[in-house]
Amino acid sequence: MSLRLGLPIAAGLLVADQASKWWILEVARLPEVGHIPLLEAGPFGLDLTMVWNRGVTFGLLSGDGPWHHLVLALLAAAIALFLLRWMARAENRLTAVALGAVVGGAIGNVIDRIRFGAVVDFVDTHAWGWHWYVFNVADAAIVCGVAALIADALFQPKAEPKEGP
């Protein structure tokens, strides 16, 4: 049952991620434009800003070596396979959905690394002159999925230990 719940979530997020990146690259042409302001509400703002992320989360482990993007793609694919195995054994719906979000996001970013040698990041949020890391739909899915897994682990009722024979 866990896979029947988690896999459609992963597939839907993967499609949304890749469609948003296609739109950013082919319709909005953000690599050429560079920056599109979207929303300004007092000190808060939301823009589209083109960033090619050659690292992992928040640009960690970035590099330009000829095999660097393939090594990161293989690492992410291996993690996605581990998470799929976990999803198959998930004990509750929240875990299955959260793992689906993480897997869908991870595969979306793997596709970018293989296609472009970097991940397409474009959502730029800011407040009071401070900009958060530029991210994409896949990144948001991964962060929300991990947050749900942590919440589930912290707040899930613990099973009562069984008393002797």
- The one catalytic residue in 17, 112, 121, 124 is 121
Q: Which of 17, 112, 124, 139 is catalytic?
A: 139
Query: What span, in angstroms and rounded, lies between the C-alpha atoms of 19 and 14?
Result: 8
Torsion sign, CA atoms 89, 91, 97, 102 = negative
**What is the rounded radius of gyration, in angstroms, for the C-alpha atoms of the chain?**
18
The DSSP letter of residue 154 is H
Judge residue 94's burial from the number of C-beta atoms within 10 Å of its C-beta, 0-12 exposed, 13-18 middle, 19 or more buried: middle
Structure tokens at 60: 């960690």
Q: Are 88 and 4 in contact (CB under 8 A)?
A: no
Q: How far apart are CA 100 and CA 86, in angstroms?
A: 10
Whether 64 is catalytic: no
Question: Is residue 152 annotated as part of the catalytic site, yes or no?
Answer: no
Q: Are 59 and 133 in contact (CB under 8 A)?
A: yes
- Other Cβ atoms less than 10 A from the Cβ of 153: the count is 9
Residues annotated as catalytic (active site), given as ranges: 121, 139
